[in-house]
């Protein structure tokens, strides 16, 4: 396989197939996976979380696809362990029953690349595994130590999108003056601040009043993969959160009421991630989102019960966001 | 049984009114008559005294002599006429209608009614009392009464026996009987009584009306609250049903998902393989056609490959083997079988398309319940079935299923990882005995007595309605059975359900 790096120089990469580990307690699922992927990948199968973790001890994989609900060790636990042992692997969680706890766990502990619900569509699953495998292959050959610890920037900018004054004062305490805190009450203010200030981490509600702003969070990640987004919300719609993983690659999902320690830790980790991404822009590929556009986002929002007026407001904001980051500004923003 | 406040209040008030009014009327009447008698008596005493003082000395010799005369002589004695005249004079203007005088032996010496003169009253109670020095009166109603001058009719008459005391020596020397006409007095007493009764009735009526409105209002409030209550209860029961249904549907959906996922994946792969097979099948078919046409026993083929065909051949997936296709199809069939097994069990569990009352094999029912509850139970809990030989019973199977899914779900919730649920069935003394035993955390002693109570729940946070066990108990009782529980903290809990083999009539259950 020949890949072209950004500098234009060609290099020969190993021609081996990407290694993929599938974990599921149902052998027939594993059989289907084998038939589906055997042609293009080097496959390994584990029929339990325990077996998967043992395999992770002496082999490395580009992609790990795990079922969530298994007796003993769950999928989130497997992926969490995978993240610790082989941070270069791309993690995908496959689950039949989207319970909130495992979804949130897959974000915060598993830092999954995609969350796929059973029954899956073969084309989508193939596309996701292919994207994950390509990303992992490219990065593992270019940045052998992508996950090394990096010092957090001294004065990072945090944008908080939330109307609740109590949350604001709580964040004042949480940041302890280490980072600059900017508040936004609505989308316009948020976009103004993104335009004017150096924002590294965005902490956002999923709703401002009645307006579902998850689409803004997703589009922001799409246009500016360096900015790390944390969702802090009291809403808990499993489907919406799954979309936030797959289309928004949110870094953390925190539930209200605010837990100080958890918030502080999340923001610190987010800052570290930001610095990593700035130092190794190619790592952004690890957090690539699904292809999305304004229309799809608006359709999604309407499907979740958004009215026409709110949809109008959202359309304006999405257009502005797209304009804001068009013209290669992304790399200039540090 | 509904308590009708307004009706009960009205009846109770009416009864109380009648009692109070009668008592008050009677008491008033009694007191008034007592007073009247006392007054009359004192009038009669005065009359007697006047008689004793003014006439007694004069007539004493006649009285004393009277005892010796026969009735005829007594009647015709000139003193009689004089006495009658004097007595008439004495009684003028009074309501006295008759006067009699008795000597100490009870002989009627004088009477204003001449026919009674000479009657012996020595054994008369009134006379005997008077001779002892006491005054005695009696109130009687007479249809006709012979007064001085004429017969009077329909009268209330008070008769008093009064001792005649000598003004000289204070000794009793005779007895005076005075009849007074008290009809007007009694009439006024009755008027007064009716007045009192009327007054009391109107006061009580007023009180009743006032209270009636208060009670009516209270009754309305109570009724509205009762309606509200039953609506809320219905709602809660409905919620419980929906919650357990939702739980079941979620579990079943999860169970369906796995076979659905791999079957769908396999079939869509097979669909793609059909494209891959198009070329081989076409060529193979043509080849076979050629071979069939042949009669010589030897076929020579000459194939000219175009660049396009070459490319097509290069793209073909030569990994495809009939074995793999067969395996994919057979796994897909297995998936479909798993799904249909689930659907069959679901149908068995809900029995929506079956008779409500049926002969039912409890062991079969419990198997269905355990299948449906599988996803709720999870893989970490071991299920042990100890099924004995039990006869079928006539019952409402869907309700019986509801009991056991409640018990099994409860057991699953109380068992942490690596626990065990044992379901035992047996037939004991004409009862089917089902035990659902878990190795869970057990039920605290203070909770145990309440667990069958409606709305009692320790799972508020998890959305428990507190109706599961209460509904289960109701179903068991409706089937003429019994449900019991034993529990030990840290050891586990055992529910025992007894269902009689001989059921009550089906109609009773269906009701």
Under an 8 A CB cutoff, do A118 and B324 touch? no
Q: CB–CB of A61/A89 below 8 Å?
A: yes
Beta bridge partners of B111: B100
Q: Which residues of B touch A72 (CB under 8 A)?
A: 380
Integer Cα distance of B451 and B414 in angstroms: 14
Q: What is the DSSP string of B279-317?
A: HHHHHHHHHHHHHHH--SS------PPPHHHHHHHHHS-
Q: How far is A118 from chain B (nearest CA, A)?
A: 6
H or E segment at B276?
helix B183-293
Nearest CB among A28, A35, A72 relative to B335 is that of: A28
Enter the pTM of the model: 0.65
**Mean pLDDT score of chain A:** 82
Under an 8 A CB cutoff, do A97 and B257 touch? yes
Integer Cα distance of A277 and B476 in angstroms: 66
- Model pLDDT for residues B460-482, shown as the tens digit of each residue: 655 566 778 888 888 899 888 99
Q: CB–CB of A286/A135 below 8 Å?
A: yes
Integer Cα distance of B220 and B242 in angstroms: 32
Give the residue from B98, B110, B96 showing the smallest Cα distance to B174: B110
Under an 8 A CB cutoff, do A118 and B259 touch? no
DSSP reduced 3-state for A280:
coil
Q: Which residues of A touch B259 (CB under 8 A)?
A: 28
**In A91-101, which positions are buried (b, 16+ CB within 10 angstroms) versus exposed (e)?**
bbbbbbbeeee
Average pLDDT over residues B398-404: 88
- Model pLDDT for residues B3-20, shown as the tens digit of each residue: 677 888 889 988 998 999
C-alpha dihedral sign at B497, B501, B504, B510: positive
List Cβ neighbours of A20 (8 Å cut-off, separation of 6 or more): A37, A41, A42, A43, A44, A61, A62, A63, A64, A65, A129, A133
DSSP secondary structure code for residue B52 in this structure:
I
Q: Which residues of B touch A25 (CB under 8 A)?
A: 379
pLDDT number for residue A291: 78
CATH number for the domain running over B5-189: 3.30.450.20
pLDDT of B147 strictly over 80: no
**Residue B494: which pLDDT band, with cuts at 50, 70 and 90?**
very high
Q: What is the DSSP string of B229-263?
A: HHHHHHHHHHHHHHHHHHHHHHHHHHHHHHHHHHH
pLDDT of B293 strictly over 90: no
A314 vs B339, residue with greater confidence: B339
Using a 10 angstrom Cβ sphere, with 0-12 exposed, 13-18 middle and 19 or more buried, the burial of residue B161 is buried
DSSP reduced 3-state for B453:
coil
Integer Cα distance of A95 and A102 in angstroms: 9
DSSP reduced 3-state for B417:
coil
Phi, psi of A59 (to 5 degrees): -140, 155
- Model pLDDT for residues A80-111, shown as the tens digit of each residue: 999 888 888 999 999 877 778 888 888 888 88
Tell me if the bond preceding A257 is cis, omega within 30° of 0: yes
Q: Does A48 touch chain B (CB under 8 A)?
A: no
Integer Cα distance of B256 and A119 in angstroms: 10
Under an 8 A CB cutoff, do B327 and A31 touch? yes
pLDDT number for residue A149: 52
Q: How far is B426 from chain A (nearest CA, A)?
A: 32
pLDDT number for residue B280: 86
Under an 8 A CB cutoff, do B262 and A28 touch? yes
**Residue B332: which pLDDT band, with cuts at 50, 70 and 90?**
very high
Under an 8 A CB cutoff, do B262 and A31 touch? yes
pLDDT number for residue A180: 86
Q: CB–CB of B499/B479 below 8 Å?
A: yes
DSSP secondary structure code for residue A271 in this structure:
H
Phi, psi of A2 (to 5 degrees): -120, 130
Category of A190 on φ-ψ map: left (φ > 0), alpha (ψ -120 to 50) or beta: alpha
Integer Cα distance of A62 and B143 in angstroms: 129
Q: Does A97 touch chain B (CB under 8 A)?
A: yes
Under an 8 A CB cutoff, do B259 and A28 touch? yes
Token couple for B312: 């097509």
Query: Lowest-confidence range among A5-19, A102-116, B52-66, B235-249?
Result: A5-19
pLDDT number for residue A42: 94
Integer Cα distance of B109 and B107 in angstroms: 6
Give the residue from A239, A204, A206, A297 showing the smallest Cα distance to A100: A239
**Residue B39: which pLDDT band, with cuts at 50, 70 and 90?**
confident
Give the residue from A216, A234, A189 showing the smallest Cα distance to A300: A216
**Residue B124 Cα to chain centre, angstroms:** 63
For residue A249, CA distances in Å to A225, A274, A322 come to 9, 14, 18
Average pLDDT over residues B408-426: 87
DSSP reduced 3-state for A3:
strand
pLDDT number for residue B464: 64
pLDDT of B265 strictly over 90: yes
List Cβ neighbours of B390 (8 Å cut-off, separation of 6 or more): B361, B362, B363, B425, B426, B427, B432
Q: What is the biggest distance separating any 2 CA atoms in chain B, rounded to whole angstroms?
A: 185
Token couple for A110: 């598993």
pLDDT number for residue A21: 96
Reported ipTM: the value is 0.78
Nearest CB among A25, A26, A32 relative to B266 is that of: A32
CA neighbours closer than 13 Å in the CB half-sphere of residue B286? 7
pLDDT number for residue A332: 38
Integer Cα distance of B392 and B499 in angstroms: 11
Average pLDDT over residues B146-169: 80
Integer Cα distance of B134 and B139 in angstroms: 17
Token couple for B341: 């097994």
Token couple for A45: 């199968």
For residue B446, CA distances in Å to A55, B304, B451 come to 50, 91, 10
Nearest CB among A32, A96, A120 relative to B254 is that of: A96
Nearest CB among B258, B260, B269 relative to A122 is that of: B269
Q: How far is A330 from chain B (nearest CA, A)?
A: 40
Q: At what angle do helices A214-223 and A238-248 cross, to 10 degrees?
A: 10
**Residue A151: which pLDDT band, with cuts at 50, 70 and 90?**
low
Average pLDDT over residues B37-56: 82
Q: How far is A97 from chain B (nearest CA, A)?
A: 6
> Within 10 A of A17 (CB to CB), how many other CB atoms are there?
17
pLDDT number for residue B504: 56
pLDDT of B495 strictly over 90: yes
Helices (H), B68-182: 71-76, 78-91, 125-131
Integer Cα distance of B99 and B84 in angstroms: 9
Pairing of strands B431-438, A180-184: unpaired
Q: Least CA distance to B260: which residue of chain A?
A: A119
Pairing of strands A157-161, A180-184: parallel
CA neighbours closer than 13 Å in the CB half-sphere of residue B63? 23
Q: How far is A101 from chain B (nearest CA, A)?
A: 15
Residue tagged 């964040």 (tokens):
A171
H or E segment at A223?
helix A214-223
């Amino acid at each position: 396989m020949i890949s072209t790096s950004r500098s234009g120089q060609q290099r020969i990469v190993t021609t081996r197939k990407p290694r993929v580990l599938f974990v599921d307690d149902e052998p027939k699922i594993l059989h289907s996976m084998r038939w589906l992927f055997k042609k293009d990948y080097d496959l390994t199968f584990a029929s339990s979380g325990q077996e998967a973790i043992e395999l992770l001890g002496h082999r490395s994989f580009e992609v790990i696809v795990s079922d969530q609900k298994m007796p003993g060790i769950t999928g989130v636990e497997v992926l969490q362990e995978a993240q610790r042992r082989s941070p270069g692997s791309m993690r995908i969680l496959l689950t039949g029953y989207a319970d909130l706890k495992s979804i949130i766990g897959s974000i915060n502990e598993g830092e999954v690349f995609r969350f796929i619900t059973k029954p899956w569509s073969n084309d989508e699953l193939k596309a996701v595994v292919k994207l994950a495998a390509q990303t992992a292959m490219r990065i593992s050959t270019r940045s052998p130590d992508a996950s090394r610890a990096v010092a957090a920037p001294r004065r990072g900018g945090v944008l908080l999108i939330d109307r609740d004054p109590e949350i604001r004062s709580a964040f004042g305490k949480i940041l302890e003056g280490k980072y600059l805190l900017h508040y936004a009450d609505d989308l316009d203010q948020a976009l103004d601040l993104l335009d004017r200030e150096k924002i590294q981490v965005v902490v956002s509600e999923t709703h401002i009043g009645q307006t579902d702003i998850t689409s803004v969070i997703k589009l922001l990640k799409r246009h500016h993969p360096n900015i790390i987004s944390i969702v802090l919300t009291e809403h808990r719609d499993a489907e919406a959160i799954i979309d936030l993983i797959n289309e928004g690659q949110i870094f953390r999902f925190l539930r209200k009421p605010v837990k100080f320690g958890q918030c502080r830790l999340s923001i610190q980790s987010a800052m570290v991630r930001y610095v990593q991404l700035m130092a190794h822009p190619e790592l952004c590929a690890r957090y690539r989102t699904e292809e999305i556009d304004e229309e799809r986002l608006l359709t999604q929002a309407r499907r979740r019960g958004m009215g026409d007026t709110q949809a109008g407001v959202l359309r304006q904001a999405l257009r502005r966001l797209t304009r804001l980051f068009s013209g290669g500004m992304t790399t200039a923003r540090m | 049984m509904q308590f009708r406040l307004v009706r009960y209040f009205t009846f109770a008030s009416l009864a109380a009114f009648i009692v109070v009014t009668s008592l008050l009327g009677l008491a008033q009447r009694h007191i008034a008559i007592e007073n009247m008698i006392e007054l009359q008596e004192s009038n009669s005493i005065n009359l007697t005294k006047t008689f004793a003082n003014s006439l007694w000395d004069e007539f004493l010799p006649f009285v004393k002599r009277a005892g010796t005369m026969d009735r005829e002589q007594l009647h015709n004695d000139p003193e009689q006429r004089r006495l009658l005249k004097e007595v008439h004079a004495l009684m003028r203007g009074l309501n006295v209608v008759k006067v009699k005088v008795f000597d100490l032996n009870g002989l009627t010496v004088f009477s204003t009614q001449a026919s009674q003169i000479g009657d012996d009253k020595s054994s008369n109670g009134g006379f005997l009392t008077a001779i002892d020095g006491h005054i005695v009166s009696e109130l009687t109603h007479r249809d006709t009464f012979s007064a001085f001058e004429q017969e009077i009719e329909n009268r209330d008459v008070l008769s008093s026996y009064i001792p005649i005391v000598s003004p000289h020596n204070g000794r009793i020397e005779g007895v005076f009987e005075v009849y007074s006409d008290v009809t007007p007095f009694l009439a006024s007493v009755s008027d007064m009584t009716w007045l009192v009764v009327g007054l009391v009735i109107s006061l009580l009526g007023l009180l009743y009306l006032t209270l009636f409105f208060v009670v009516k209002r209270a009754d309305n409030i109570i009724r509205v609250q009762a309606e509200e209550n039953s609506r809320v209860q219905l709602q809660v029961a409905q919620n419980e049903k929906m919650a357990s249904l939702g739980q079941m549907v979620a579990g079943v959906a999860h169970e369906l998902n796995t076979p659905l996922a791999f079957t769908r994946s396999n079939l869509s792969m097979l669909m793609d393989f059909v494209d891959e097979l198009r070329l081989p099948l076409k060529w193979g078919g043509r080849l076979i056609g050629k071979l069939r046409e042949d009669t010589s026993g030897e076929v020579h083929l000459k194939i000219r490959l175009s660049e396009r065909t070459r490319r097509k051949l290069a793209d073909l997936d030569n990994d495809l083997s009939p074995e793999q296709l067969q395996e994919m199809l057979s796994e897909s069939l297995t998936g479909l079988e798993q799904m249909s097994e689930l659907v069959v069990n679901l149908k068995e569990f809900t029995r929506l398309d079956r008779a409500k009352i049926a002969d039912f094999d409890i062991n079969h029912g419990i198997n269905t319940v355990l299948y449906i509850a599988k996803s709720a139970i999870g893989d970490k809990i071991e299920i042990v079935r100890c099924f004995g030989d039990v006869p079928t019973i006539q019952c409402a199977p869907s309700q019986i299923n509801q009991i056991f899914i409640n018990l099994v779900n409860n057991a699953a919730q109380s068992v942490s990882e690596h626990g065990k649920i044992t379901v035992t069935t047996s037939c004991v003394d004409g009862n089917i005995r089902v035990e659902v035993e878990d190795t869970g955390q057990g039920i605290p002693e203070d909770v145990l007595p309440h667990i069958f109570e409606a709305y009692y729940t320790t799972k508020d946070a998890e959305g428990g309605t507190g109706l599961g066990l209460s509904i289960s108990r109701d179903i068991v009782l409706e089937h003429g059975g019994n449900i019991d529980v034993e529990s030990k903290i840290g050891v586990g809990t055992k529910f025992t359900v007894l269902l009689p083999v001989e059921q009550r009539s089906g109609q009773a259950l269906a009701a």
